[in-house]
Structure 1
C-alpha cells in the first residue's frame, strides 16, 4: 500500500505502536483499579464482620440485617504462636477451582487467639475475568477505529502536498502558473510561497534564455552578413592592395564582434557553473575595498573620480563570492563606461532593515526605465558592448538571493544608480544608517 519511504507508512506504523501501547496500559490500569476497588470492598466487609464479633459477639451489627452477606462465609477461632507470622489478608486457590479470601483478626491477645474469617470470592474472580475480557474487547475495537481514523487523517494531511505534486508534475515551460497560496492551509503557505518564487525564477530563466538564443542568433547573423557582403563586393573586380587590406580590416572587426558575443555566451555558461559552488562566509566590506583598489587606478587613468564610502566596517555573509564579484564588476564597468571625463563615480554601502545595500552611482546619461535592461542584448546609449552584462548580473543576484535594481538619480544630476540589496546575517549588532 505504501512504499518504505512513504511518510504515511511511517506515521501509521508509529501510530499503531503508540496506540497499542496506550491500549495495553489503559486496560491494565483500568483492570487493576476495578480489581483493587472490589477487593477493598471485600476486605472492608470481612473487617466489619470481625469487628462485630469482637465487639458484639455477633456476626451482624445492628445496622447490618442482610443475611445474604453471610453466604459463603466461614469463621474459625485459631491460636497462633507469638513467633508465627500473622497475615492480615491472603487469597487461597483450591483444587476445585474455587477461591477464598481470608482475614486473620486478633480476638484475645492473652490467649493468643485470632479470628480466621474466610469468604468464597469465586463469583467475584469470574466477574473480574469477564471485566478484563470486556475491557480488552472494547479497547481492541477502539484501536481499530483509531487506525481507520489515522488512515483518513493522514490522507487529509497529505492532500495539499498531493495536489501540489499533481499540479507541478503537469507543468512544463509553457504551462507554468503560480500556485494559489490563499487556497492552501496555513501550514502550507510558506511552501506555496517558496514554490511561487521558484516558479518565478524558472519563468524568468526560460524567458531570458529564449531571448538569449534569439538575440545571439541575430547578433551573430549581422556581422556574418557584413563579412559576406564585403567579400562579395571585393570579389566583383580586382582592387589595389590597400583596398584589400581595408576589406580585411573590416572583416576582422566583424570577427572581433562575434568573438565578444561568443565570449559572453561562454561567460553565461561559466556563471551557471559558479551558481553550483558551495557558498562560503566572506566579509562583504573587504570585497568592496578590493574592487575600490582595482578601479581607482582605472578611473585616474581616464580622468575620472572614484569616491567610496563603506558602512559598516564589517559585514559577514554566506554566499558564492564569484557571483558577487561578477555583479560588482558589471556595476563598476558600466559606471566607468558612461561617466564622462572629469565626473565622479560614487561607490558606497550602508545598512537598511533587510541587510546591506551596495550602490554604484555615476554621472552618465541615465537610462530609459521603461526598457528591461536586464534582458539579454539590451543596450542603452552609443557605447560599445554586447548587452549581456546586466543579464549576467541579474542571474547572479537571483542565485545568491539578492535584489538588484537600476534607476535614474533623483537629486537633480543626470546619472544612474545601480543598487544591490544583500540580506544576510550580521556578525555583530551594528547601527542603522
Structure 2
C-alpha cells in the first residue's frame, strides 16, 4: 500500500504514535485519579470511624468486635508512634484496608480498624477494563481517522502528480489553482509558471534553430558569391579591397548574429542567479538618466513618471535590466527626431506596471513580435531582442506586452508587469 519513501506512511506512523501515547497517558492519569479519589474517601471514612470510636470507649473491649462491618482491635506496640498508617492486603480474593490509629499514648495502645473493600476493588477493575476497551475502540477510530486524514491531505499532491505525469511537450495544460487548497496555491502557481516557460521554449525552439540557420546561411552565401565573382578575372587592387570590405562587413553582421545567440545562453545562466532585493523605482530612474543623454544626443526627449516612490522586489536584476534596456533601445530607435519617449511606472492589484511609450511607426499586432528573428519596421537588427526580453520576463514570472498606442498618437507601448506575489514584492513607504 505504501512505498518505503511514502510521505503518507511516515505521516500515519507519526500520527498513530502520537495518538496512542496521548490515549495511554490520558487513560492512565484518569484511572489513577479515580483510584486515588476512592482510596482517599475510604481513608477519610476510617479516620472518622476511629475518631468516633475513641470518643465512645464503651463500645470497645479487648476482644475483637464488629461495628458497621469493621474489624476493630486494640493493639499494643512496643514503640509509640504518633502518626497514623494505613495499608492494603489481599488474600483469597478478598481485599482489606487497615488503619492503625493512635489510641492511648501512655499505654502505647492503637486502634486497628480493618474494612473489606472487595466490592470497591471489583468496581475499580471494571473501570480499568472499561478504560482499556474504550482505548482499543478509540485506537481503531484513530487508525480510521488517520487513514482518511492522510488521504485527504495527500489528495492535492495526487492531483498535481496526475496532471504532471500526463503531460508532454505537446500536451501541456496549466493547473487550476483555484481548485487547490490555499496551502498548495503557491506550488500550483510555481508549476504553472514553469509550464508557461516550457510552452514558450517548445513554441520558439524550432523557429530559433531554423532562423539561426537561415540568418547565418544568407551572409555565407553572399561571401561565397562575392569571392567567386572576384576570382572570375583579374582585378585591380582597389576592386580587391572593395571585395574584402564587403566580406568583412558581412562577417561583422554574422558576428552580431552569433553574439545575440550567445546572449540566449548567457540569459539562461542569469536565470539561475540568486535573486536580490532591489528598489525597482530607483533602478528605473538610473536607467532613464543613462538613456536620457543618448536621447538628447539624437535630438529626442526622454520623460520619466514613476509611481510609487519606492517598490522593493526580490528578483534577478540582470534579467530586469535586459528587458528595460531593450524597451528603451527600440523606443529611441523607432522614434524620429524631435520625438519623445516616456518611461513610467504605476501600481495595481497585480503588482508594478512598467511602460515605455514611444512615437514610432507602430506595429502589426497580428504578428508575434516575440518570436526569434522577427523584425518590425525598416530599422536594422537581428530580431532577437524581444525574444530575449520575453524569455527574461517568463523567468521573472512577469507579463510582457507590446501594443499600439490608443491615444491618437502613432507609436507603441511596451509594458512589463511584475507580479508582486511571485516576485516577493515589498512596498517601501
2:369 maps to 1:373: yes
Cα RMSD for the two superposed structures: 3.8
Give the secondary-structure state (helix, strand or coil) at the position aligned to 2:370: coil
Structure 2 Cα separation of the partners of residues 163 and 406 of structure 1: 36
Superposed counterparts of 1:9-408, under 5 Å: 9-36=9-36, 38-39=38-39, 42=42, 73-76=70-73, 84-87=81-84, 90-93=86-89, 98-103=94-99, 116-129=112-125, 131-181=127-177, 184-185=180-181, 187-234=183-230, 237-238=232-233, 240-241=235-236, 244-408=240-404
* TM-superposition CA deviations, 1:114-164 (whole Å, max 9, x none): 764321224543553454355335424532542354234323421331342
Number of aligned residues: 418
Give the secondary-structure state (helix, strand or coil) at the position aligned to 2:87: strand
Structure 1 Cα separation of the partners of residues 306 and 160 of structure 2: 45
* TM-superposition CA deviations, 1:34-78 (whole Å, max 9, x none): 42454366457657867887789889xxxxxxxxx956x313356
Structure 2 Cα separation of the partners of residues 11 and 338 of structure 1: 61
Q: How has the CA–CA distance of structure 1 residues 179 and 330 changed in structure 2, closer, same or farther, with 3 Å as cutoff?
A: same
Cross-structure match for 2:64:
none
Structure 2 Cα separation of the partners of residues 184 and 136 of structure 1: 41
Structure 1 Cα separation of the partners of residues 204 and 15 of structure 2: 49
Structure 2 Cα separation of the partners of residues 322 and 170 of structure 1: 35
* TM-superposition CA deviations, 1:210-255 (whole Å, max 9, x none): 22112212222333333344445555x4263355555444444433
Give the secondary-structure state (helix, strand or coil) at the position aligned to 1:390: helix
Structure 1 Cα separation of the partners of residues 180 and 279 of structure 2: 40
Q: How has the CA–CA distance of structure 1 residues 402 and 127 changed in structure 2, closer, same or farther, with 3 Å as cutoff?
A: same
Q: Is the 8 A contact 2:295 2:302 kept in 1?
A: yes
Give the secondary-structure state (helix, strand or coil) at the position aligned to 1:200: helix
Q: How has the CA–CA distance of structure 1 residues 361 and 281 changed in structure 2, closer, same or farther, with 3 Å as cutoff?
A: same
Structure 2 Cα separation of the partners of residues 105 and 35 of structure 1: 23
Q: Is the 8 A contact 2:331 2:358 kept in 1?
A: yes
Give the secondary-structure state (helix, strand or coil) at the position aligned to 2:376: coil
Structure 2 Cα separation of the partners of residues 177 and 257 of structure 1: 40
Q: Is the 8 A contact 2:299 2:338 kept in 1?
A: yes
- TM-score, length-scaled by structure 1: 0.80
- TM-score, length-scaled by structure 2: 0.81
Cross-structure match for 1:7:
7
Structure 1: which 5+ residue stretches go unaligned? 60-68
Q: How has the CA–CA distance of structure 1 residues 203 and 56 changed in structure 2, closer, same or farther, with 3 Å as cutoff?
A: farther
Give the secondary-structure state (helix, strand or coil) at the position aligned to 1:92: strand
Deviation at 1:327, TM superposition (A): 1.3
Q: Is the 8 A contact 1:91 1:99 kept in 2?
A: no
* TM-superposition CA deviations, 1:266-300 (whole Å, max 9, x none): 01111111111112233334433332343233223
Structure 1 Cα separation of the partners of residues 321 and 183 of structure 2: 38
Structure 2 Cα separation of the partners of residues 5 and 194 of structure 1: 24
Give the secondary-structure state (helix, strand or coil) at the position aligned to 1:219: helix
Q: How has the CA–CA distance of structure 1 residues 309 and 126 changed in structure 2, closer, same or farther, with 3 Å as cutoff?
A: closer
Structure 1 Cα separation of the partners of residues 10 and 43 of structure 2: 49
